[in-house]
Chain A
Amino acid sequence: MRRRTLAWALGLVAAFAFVAAGCGGGGGSSNNANNNAGNGNTTAATNSGTLTVAIGSEPPSLDPGLATDTTSSYVVMNINTPIVKLGPAPDLKPRPALAQSWDVNGNSVTLHLRSDVTWTDGTKVTAQDVVWSWLRTISPQLGADYAYQFYGIKGAQEYNGCKPSASNNQCNDLKNKVGLSAPDATTVKIQLTSPQPWFMQQLSHVSFIPVSKTAVQKYGDKWTAPGHIVTDGPFKLTSWKHDNSLTLQKYDGWYNASQVKLNTVNLKIITDGSTALQAFNAGNVDVNDTGWPVSETSSLKQKPEYHQFPALGIYYYGFNVKQVTDVNQRKAMALAIDRKTIVENITQAGQVPAPSFTPDGMPGASTINTGSDFLKPTADMTLANQYMSKVKSPVKNITLIFNNAPGHKEIAVAIQSQWQKLGLNVTLKQQDWPQFLQFLGPPPNSSVDAFRMGWVADFPDDINFLSVLECGGGNNYTNWCNKQFDQDLKQATASSSQSQRYQLYQQAEQILTGKNGDMPIAPIYWYTYADLQKSTVQGYKINPMDEIDLSQVSVSQ
């Protein structure tokens, strides 16, 4: 008897649990109203005015001060108006956006803002907003990763480095000393630490985008939630289902709203490349920005949906020069890498084999990369072996570390077999990202002989690339220091002549990868950006800084 009642009781409990789970989960699907496309409903995606894009990750933050990754930047740049936009390659000159004109006088920069830009809550965007936002990003309390972008402004680095404590007013004093002021609603005055010819281009970066003081003060950490967030760009954020999708709607109050052809943009978060490709093939998304399995690239390249864009970024291997001490061995290892094979057989997306650190798309590259022919696209084993034989006590056991994101393992395996031809015994160590960074330091862990790294430009000037390898720089994991190199960079920073700067960059590049250089790193290839777009989508371009301007995009019937 007891068993029977118990069985019934269990059955009831189980049934209740399932129903409860179902009710709890069912609430999610009632938000369907905002997802009018891409849910296995193929017709909705072809409505003109609506664009559905597969993006590869959940944006960690939509706060311009905290957006460090490309997905966050993608959204933030399109729901806000940046200070300036970048013109077309190869020059990538700054174009008016929020700032309609500017004056540059040595250390002083004055921005004249448009007067017709409004926040989505109706108020105007003013110069005070800009100054307030920048000071917020520089403030130590926010903990902005990109605060270093502002270090070119007088007093910014000191303010950022201040330790906030309740007792002293030291931080407030430092804040007042930062070289920023807004004499009136449309003028921003900036004092720099030195003349920085690239500063205007740097202002196109997402970290300089102003935020709405009202929203931030009212909602604190939660100010970016839909319903709270206040922005000033061509689109506004109307829904954000975490780890699922974001929806942007056209903002009619934008100053150029008449030119914006899209009404709705659905960003679907699909992290897995195979799934994203399937979704694109099934017609569930219009653009696949997530990516796809690399092995599909060769067949996808034949299709008209495939689009490829040059990028200002490099994939390279660095050496720990305290371990691989002999420059001849480093040169041999760099010469032994068969870049062309890697690009053609592994990455396959039209990447360019890199003979130098500075990418060819960089303004001034024709001067900077003159003489960068020591490293070839293919391997030069004869020359490599010659250098290897010059090495007095070669490091035979090489440990190569890389992070476990897709693609790195395959390249490491290929290079491992290439270095084996030099008689080296290469051990591969795959790590997850935070641990990988921990091992890199700087300074790198003594078990690290070589490592994989990449760099994408923050702004289109070579100083941004070359300063990665400055002595003691936070991004220099090689333990390498060269006085002449640092000297060249310092001179270039102080110079106001473009041609002189390019000359200095060329000298610096030679110290890196030239015949008589130090070879602290071995460049492998320069990035490209690629995506899949339906033929109905027009104007969807990725610029060399990995930026996409949705206000230029349209979808035809």
Chain B
Amino acid sequence: MATNPQEEEVREAAITRESEAAERMRYEAGAAVRQTSLWRDAVRRFSANKAALAAMVAFVLLALYCLIVPFVDPYDPNAVDFSQAYLTPSVHHFFGTDQFGRDLFVRTALGGRISIGIGFAGTFAIMLIGILYGSISGFVGGWLDNGMMRLLDALYGLPYLPFAIITLAIFGTVNFWTMVIALTIASWFTTARVIRGQIISLKENDYVRAARAIGARWNRILFRHLLPNTLGLVIVFVFLELPGVVLGEAFLSFLGLGINPPQASWGSLAQDGYSQYLSHPYIIVIPSVAIAWLILSAFFVADGLRDALDPRTQEV
């Protein structure tokens, strides 16, 4: 029977209350209580979120594709053979071939290694710099905090893509690491600000004041109390920043500043495909779908993680 959603809500809430009551009874009866920590709780809540779970699976699948396929695929990703050019996707070539007759299934996987690699490296760099900057600023406070925040305001004014372009122009060459640096340089500001905000609000908590009162040293407070509590936020941020970095790399490649051939990233594959989309659309669609797949799964995972880790959002 179709029930209206509000009735469902009420019923679910009732069941939860019942099971909670049962737990409490067992506890009071002295039964062994299964301890749960923030993390285990989060994992449980995350798994209950179907969309987040599906997204995590999708993400892992994509990563596996990029890792495994180049080892098992029979075709040489760099072999130029014009007689095999522009074959549409088929059983022999799952993604077809490009203008040079190179198999796109393996090239997309290799491109994924580079794009995802740049994504994670860039995100890691952004997190590192952001956390360092934000926690120092938030923890120390006072005039140092003020100065650092003012500097950050100035840095905020630097438009991200033009700066990436200028940075690549300064390096003169585009490879994995210069791309990572270019994309990181103007992207860590929000992270720094948010971490700082988190540290500041955590600093005011009673348990921190208590720790201070009993004479705990600053590094103990910072590393033992404050940072671990920001970890949840950081994990969510990782999955939120990753798409931005990958998309940034795609944009830069599209503007002609991509990785040197014959290596490829999804962005440079898309750029190749763009000049041929009228007659051979699959060449641009495939890497774009890969990028979209990565970003969508990252977003849903981030949403799921945030819902799971945030103690304020209760199950409805």
Contact = CB atoms under 8 A, between A and B. Distances in A.
Interface string B69-111: 0000000001110100100000000000001100000000000
A542 to B, nearest CB: 22
A429 B275 contact: no
A293 B278 contact: yes
Contact of B169 (A295, A412, A417, A435): A435
A413 B100 contact: yes
Contacts of B275: 273-274, 293-295, 406
A500 interface: no
Interface string A269-305: 0000110010000000000000001111001000000
A428 B174 CA distance: 11
Contact of A428 (B99, B257, B262): B262
A75 B52 CA distance: 58
Given A413-B80, A413-B261, A432 B276 contact: no
A345 interface: yes
A126 to B, nearest CB: 47
A346 B274 CA distance: 15
B173 interface: yes
B274 A274 contact: yes
B278 A274 contact: yes
B145 to A, nearest CB: 26
B5 interface: no
Contacts, number: 65
A277 B278 contact: yes
Contact of A414 (B100, B169, B260, B277): B100
Interface in B234-278: 256-258, 260-262, 274-278
A176 interface: no
Nearest to B78: A417
Interface string A417-446: 100000000011111100100000000000
Given A414-B100, A435-B169, A293 B256 contact: no
Interface residues of A, number: 28
B172 interface: yes
B279 interface: yes
B280 interface: yes
B274 A417 contact: no
Contacts of A428: 260-262
Contacts of B85: 345
Nearest to B274: A274
A409 interface: yes
A280 to B, nearest CB: 12
Interface in B200-220: none
B271 to A, nearest CB: 9
Interface in A332-346: 341, 345-346
A416 B78 CA distance: 10
A1 to B, nearest CB: 26
A484 to B, nearest CB: 37
Contacts of A345: 82, 85, 99
Chain B, interface SS category: loop
A299 B260 contact: no
Contacts of A277: 278
A471 B256 CA distance: 34
Contacts of B257: 404, 432
B139 to A, nearest CB: 31
Contacts of B174: 430
Contacts of B279: 295-296, 299
Contacts of B100: 410, 413-414
Contacts of A404: 256-257
Contact of B172 (A293, A294, A427, A435): A435
Given A413-B261, A416-B262, A293 B276 contact: yes
B280 A429 contact: no
Nearest to B275: A293
A409 B172 contact: no
Contacts of A430: 174, 256, 258, 260-261
A303 to B, nearest CB: 13
Nearest to B175: A429
B80 A417 contact: yes
B214 to A, nearest CB: 40
B82 A431 contact: no
B261 A409 contact: yes
Nearest to A281: B278
Contacts of A341: 82
A463 to B, nearest CB: 35
Contacts of A429: 173, 260
A265 to B, nearest CB: 27
A283 to B, nearest CB: 17
Contacts of B276: 293-296
A410 B275 CA distance: 12
A299 to B, nearest CB: 6
A432 B252 CA distance: 12
Given A295-B279, A296-B278, A410-B99, A432 B169 contact: yes
Contacts of B280: 295
Contact of A274 (B82, B169, B258, B277): B277
A78 B258 CA distance: 38
A299 B279 CA distance: 9
Interface string B166-198: 000100111000000000000000000000000
Given A416-B262, A417-B80, 20 more contacts: A274-B275, A293-B278, A296-B278, A296-B279, A341-B82, A404-B256, A404-B257, A405-B256, A410-B100, A412-B261, A413-B262, A414-B100, A416-B261, A417-B79, A427-B260, A428-B261, A431-B172, A432-B169, A432-B257, A435-B172
9 contacts: A294-B275, A294-B276, A295-B278, A295-B279, A413-B80, A413-B262, A417-B78, A428-B262, A430-B174
7 residue pairs, one from A and one from B, having the closest CB atoms: A295-B276, A417-B80, A293-B275, A404-B256, A345-B82, A428-B261, A413-B261
Interface of A: 273-274, 277, 293-296, 299, 341, 345-346, 404-406, 409-410, 412-414, 416-417, 427-432, 435
